Chains A and B, each alone.
Chain A
Amino acid sequence: MKISREKIGNAEVRVWRGGKGAPLLYLHGFEQHPGAAPFLEKLCETFEVCAPESPGFGQSSGLDEMHDLLDMALHIRAVVEGWDRGAVNVIGHSLGGMFAAELAVIAPHLTKRLVLVDPFGLWLDDEPLPDPFIQAPDALAKLKWHDPATVKDEPSAFDQTTDGSRHTFRTINLSAATKYLWPIPDRGLARRARYIQAPTLIVHGESDGLIPLRYSDELAKLIPGAEMRRLRDAGHYPMIEAEEPFLDAVQSFFLVP
């Protein structure tokens, strides 16, 4: 994949692009853009992939203009409009899942099929989410991975030559994420989910401790016709811990005739 710096409105964001085929937009999660991650490279074998970094994350600017989630959804809409491929397939992971769902709400004409992976967006009073921002590293690893011991190199857009320290990179990313997730990661998706027209698949790692499985079960009930696919032996990042079943699931969903 190649990285480009692109002007979207007043923001300058990094975009990872690669592959050939049907257009596929990938929206990253709350911790970081995964860079040219193996699962994205594999998607490039079948799709033309566009994976923008969200404003305020990593080296991408424009957070100042994101007053709320609508601004962010409109920003992503501008990315898709600039791409000029008409309606595109969309994968949104974690916080990116919240963004992807909002994109589908405001731009049905640009959202062909929608995959939400362990998405944020709901709040269930009887099963509160753990606070993702206060966890010590060990505790966070336990929450986000099915098996922390097996995960070695987490794919990341971190660039040692330009990003300073990993700690700074992480702080920048999480700061931007607080805009949409703090103090409760509910910005009204439950009210608006019924406006999603794109065929939708929700993929959820069964061991996700950051967002329990029930959250996706509930969201699937709110999105008309949504399908639900649970992946075993995977936590918040099924595309990493269960790469093959993940790719099978999204490819067969996008490639329906």
Chain B
Amino acid sequence: MKFHWFAEVTYPDLPLEPRPGHSAWVTPDWKLVDPAKVGETYRMFIRLMQQADRDGFDGLAVNEHHQTPFAMTPSPNLLAASLASSTEDAAILIIGDSLALYNPPQRVAEEMAYLDCVSGGRVIAGFVFGTPMDSVFAYGNPPIELRERFHEARKLILRAWAEDKPFAHNGKYNQLRYVNVWPKPIQKRPPIWVPGSGSVETWDLVIEENYCYGHLSFSGLYSAKPMVDAYWEYCAKKGGDMNPHRMAFTQLICCADTDKEAEEKYYEGVKFFYQSNMIDPGFITPPGYTTVRSAQAMAERVKASPLLKPEDRMRAARGQMSFWEYDEKGYIVAGTPQRVAQRLRELAKDLRIGQLIACLHMGNLSEDIAAMNTYLVGTQVIPQLRDLWADEPDHWTPEVSQRRMAARAAKKVAAQ
């Protein structure tokens, strides 16, 4: 089982009381934000991820969002660049570049190749559609075109990495007379991850291409279960690779020496995290973003298995759950390293997950608590879970990172 350190880069100082007409996405007000504080926040996350690299995480995950204080990472590649040259072993998990938003798309091929070169072959290439808020509202793509643009870009990027001679690309959305990407990645073709929200078209893609799929919600096991189960069932039916390392999942984790301490230290950050993710309903389902076929299938799945009630989702988003209710309903996994390890084991087995994207900072959590979380999970939780799926090969994290992590583990055993 692999563990990737992650956090949404949330601005920690915004008031959370409901403001009429306020959406944390697309149209939030800038006027209460201090750019110097934004800078401090970025530097904190870079330090935390550098620590995660030392503390035994397999990967450091960065993502792309636009126009929101919830996740101030317009370019994951910039954050990745800070890590590629200042970390040693962990994979640089770019999860991912929103392909339709790069013009021309070989910018993605170039920047990921740059990062792979700087990091010595540690890049995981995540290709994402981007949320509706990002891709169709902030960046203005007609929703009906998003999938086509994504696929044209994806194929162009892969070809640009593979070809060693210039070629012409005459696409529907991009025309390029001379594609000749410099540099090219150290890994001939970095591992590719494509997360999704349950669209059948994305399932077909990851199964056909044997990419790592990802269910990247922040609502935990019960919210994800109908979707993830349906995915694996579909994968089996299509004769796809059932290797758990092909599935990534995000989970908020709040680890402390005692359960009581966990509640004291993390509760405010957890509430802040969920409360700062308010989205104006108009921005959630633009027509054409999801195909009719997928929208119907998703609605059926949610109906068929209401493991989490709509009221629960509402209360979670409003910060109205107690700390342990968040835990019980799956939104967070909290407590001592022992308890966290046990719950993650159950989660990973239940959902058949080999790549856990562990969210170890949330909301307005202070750096020292996040550092403690990182240390406890890295040194006391992860070692307990290394046996999970150990018999299955992992083709979806860079070889060099896997080799170095194994060497570290061997060294530790030798030292004992």
Contacts and interface: CB of A to CB of B under 8 A. Distances in A.
Contacts, number: 55
A168 B299 CA distance: 12
Contacts of A173: 287
B39 interface: no
In this complex, the member of A131, A178, A179 whose beta carbon has the largest number of chain B beta carbons within 10 angstroms is A178
B140 interface: yes
Interface residues of A, number: 22
Interface in A125-162: 131, 133-136
A83 interface: no
A96 B283 CA distance: 25
Interface string B175-193: 0000000000000000000
Nearest to B143: A178
Contact of A136 (B143, B144, B282): B282
A175 interface: yes
Contacts of B145: 179
A178 B172 contact: no
Interface residues of B, number: 19
A135 B140 contact: no
B256 interface: no
Contact of A135 (B141, B144, B282, B292): B282
Contacts of B136: 182-183
A171 interface: yes
Contact of A178 (B283, B287, B292): B287
A133 B144 contact: no
Contacts of A179: 142, 144-145
A178 B286 contact: yes
Contacts of B280: 134
B35 interface: no
Given A168-B296, A172-B292, A136 B286 contact: no
B287 A133 contact: yes
B129 to A, nearest CB: 15
A176 B291 CA distance: 12
A63 B282 contact: no
Given A171-B287, A178-B286, A67 B172 contact: yes
A184 B142 CA distance: 10
A155 B217 CA distance: 40
A174 interface: yes
A133 B285 CA distance: 10
Contacts of A182: 136, 140-144
Contacts of B287: 133, 170-175, 177-178
Contacts of A175: 143-144, 287-288
A168 B292 contact: yes
A176 B295 contact: no
Closest A-B pairs by Cβ, 3 of them: A134-B282, A175-B288, A174-B287
7 contacts: A133-B286, A170-B287, A175-B143, A178-B287, A182-B136, A182-B142, A184-B140
Given A134-B282, A174-B288, 12 more contacts: A133-B287, A168-B296, A172-B287, A175-B144, A178-B142, A178-B286, A182-B136, A182-B140, A182-B141, A183-B140, A183-B141, A184-B140
